[in-house]
Structure 1
Amino acid sequence: MDDHRFGEVRVRVADRVATLILAAPGRRNALTPGFVDDIVAAVDHAETRADVGALVVAAEGAAFCAGADLGELDGADEKVLRRIYAAFLRVRATPLPTVAAVAGPAVGAGLNLALACDLRVAGRSALFDARFAAIGLHPGGGVSWLLREAAGPAAATAMLLFDQRVDGATAARIGLAWACVEDDEVPAAAHRLAARAARVPGDLSRLIKSTLSDTRGLDHSGSLELELGRQVWSTTQPWYRERRAARPRSKG
């Protein structure tokens, strides 16, 4: 197992999966400017490695991420807010497949960090809590869009306007999380999920992730045409020929 540390973020690499572990449990992994820089550096590191094909975001302690340090928000201007956003925007921007391993609360910007990942595995103790309106703050970081994408408009409205909190089991039921497992099983379940994506050839997984984004807003016909050229390209790649040769031809 390969371990690195970037300030308050540990990076562990195994099975072609880089696990970024938020390691500031004393303040419930609340985001400070320095912590944001550590997260960005850790994602940068994972992307440069040829032995990494997927990314898990996990956390130490009783909370996944308690959001932004509230002291940073008092009188915050656009520059300050964008500095906080940089943590989850960097995770969202990576071409690597990403999974959030959420045990305990994911609050405010911490919710955004979980939503920035492609999928989420929730523990029984997980609590997805927007909390913006409850503290007199308008939602930020694109969370209204992220929540609609993940769980639909009703869930986004309930969480952002009606201050509804979603536990792990409910998150799995409404599509906010892919699965809900016991807390002690969350890291392994997230790792197994990420390892499946990591086994896909890197260029292919990156293109599939791009396609999932590029087809938003297209109808079926538009999606078909966009996928067509990319599927043709994939049939010409060496990994397709290798994997096709390894499978017996079907008879019919």
Structure 2
Amino acid sequence: MGDIHWAREAGVAIITVDSPEVKNGLTPEMGRRLAAVCDEIDADETIGAAVVRGAEGTFCSGADRRRWNPGADQAEDSTYREFSAIYNAFRRVGSLAVPTIAAVRGAAVGAGINLMLATDLRVVATDARILAGFLRIGIHPGGGFFTIAGRTAGREATSAMGLFSEELDGAAAERTGMAWKALPDAEVEDFALELARRPAADPSLAREAVRSFRTELGASGMDWDAAVHFERATQMWSQRRRSEA
């Protein structure tokens, strides 16, 4: 039921979210696998950059709803740990030892937008659909969404997406600063790889540079890790409330 796999091209790791029957929705198992893939990449010091993409032209549609049961007790140990695996995977991508790029085609929705924002840079299709969508389905944002969106797109766009369920296309994502470049769909992955090859030519330098980049441009306001926990309790409340409506 879905997988995360990776391959290398020269010094670039290409990470693929592969669950196309649900538009690459994430399961807890996929979250744990993604974290393990990040460990493998970090351990290979010949890798100097990573590209995150989705299989078959869609980035990630969020959590796999076949596994999502908002009526369950969200604080029950196994349920809490299952969804922690997905949130922890975002943080693990965000702490990869190499510069990271999201190659976003199709949709990045809910948890998918968090995965996109976990990377250092985003290249998006002009016609991509970028949607937080949490309030639209009656739940509070999770994964530290407000923190990681705010530090890229700024307050106004984060408000539009997170509070008012506005959807962005790739061109709008570029205008807000959420993405570096919006391109025709067929060009997205090639351009992301082209960018990634530059730091990958010198993996040791790339790893030092990205460490400095993240340290010097760290959180203003709430730290991402703290934001994940800050949002979590309210999100659990909102899921229970939704199930009882």
TM range (shorter): 0.7 to 0.9
Aligned-residue RMSD, C-alpha: 1.9
Amino acid at match of 1:195: R
Return the alpha-carbon distance in structure 2 between the equivalents of residues 15 and 31 of structure 1: 28
Following superposition, the deviation at residue 207 of structure 1 comes to: 2.9
Structure 1 residues 31-53: Cα deviation after superposition (integer angstroms, max 9, x where no partner): 11121122122222222223211
Task: Decide whether the 8 Å contact of 1:72 with 1:80 is kept in 2.
Answer: no
Amino acid at match of 1:207: E
Task: Name the residue aligned to 2:48.
Answer: 53
Q: CA 1:73 to 1:179, structure 2 compared with 1: closer, same or farther past 3 Å? A: farther
Return the alpha-carbon distance in structure 2 between the equivalents of residues 102 and 28 of structure 1: 13
The count of aligned residue pairs is 212
Amino acid at match of 1:183: D
Task: Name the residue aligned to 2:208.
Answer: 207
Amino acid at match of 1:36: G
Amino acid at match of 1:8: D
Q: CA 1:179 to 1:128, structure 2 compared with 1: closer, same or farther past 3 Å? A: same
Tell me whether 1:12 sits opposite 2:12 in the alignment.
no
Return the alpha-carbon distance in structure 2 between the equivalents of residues 109 and 46 of structure 1: 22
Following superposition, the deviation at residue 173 of structure 1 comes to: 1.4
Structure 1 residues 41-78: Cα deviation after superposition (integer angstroms, max 9, x where no partner): 22222222232110000111242111112332513334
Quick one: higher RCO (CA 8 Å, sep 6+), 1 or 2? 2
Task: Decide whether the 8 Å contact of 1:47 with 1:96 is kept in 2.
Answer: yes
- The match for 1:65 among 34, 48, 60 is 60
Return the alpha-carbon distance in structure 2 between the equivalents of residues 68 and 137 of structure 1: 13
Instruction: Map residues 71-90 of structure 1 onto 2, 5 A cutoff.
Output: 71-74=67-70, 75=72, 76-77=74-75, 78-90=80-92
Task: Decide whether the 8 Å contact of 2:45 with 2:203 is kept in 1.
Answer: no
SS where residue 152 of structure 1 aligns? helix
Return the alpha-carbon distance in structure 1 between the equivalents of residues 208 and 29 of structure 2: 32
SS where residue 162 of structure 1 aligns? coil
Q: CA 1:106 to 1:73, structure 2 compared with 1: closer, same or farther past 3 Å? A: farther
Following superposition, the deviation at residue 83 of structure 1 comes to: 1.8
Return the alpha-carbon distance in structure 2 between the equivalents of residues 191 and 52 of structure 1: 13
Q: CA 1:111 to 1:218, structure 2 compared with 1: closer, same or farther past 3 Å? A: closer
Instruction: Map residues 90-239 of structure 1 onto 2, 5 A cutoff.
Output: 90-202=92-204, 204-216=205-217
Percent same amino acid among aligned pairs? Answer: 38
Following superposition, the deviation at residue 126 of structure 1 comes to: 1.3
Taking structure 1 as the reference length, the TM-score comes to 0.78
Task: Name the residue aligned to 1:27.
Answer: 22
Q: CA 1:44 to 1:217, structure 2 compared with 1: closer, same or farther past 3 Å? A: closer
**Residues 133-142 or 57-66, more deviating:** 57-66
Stretches (4+) displaced over 4 A: none
Taking structure 2 as the reference length, the TM-score comes to 0.81
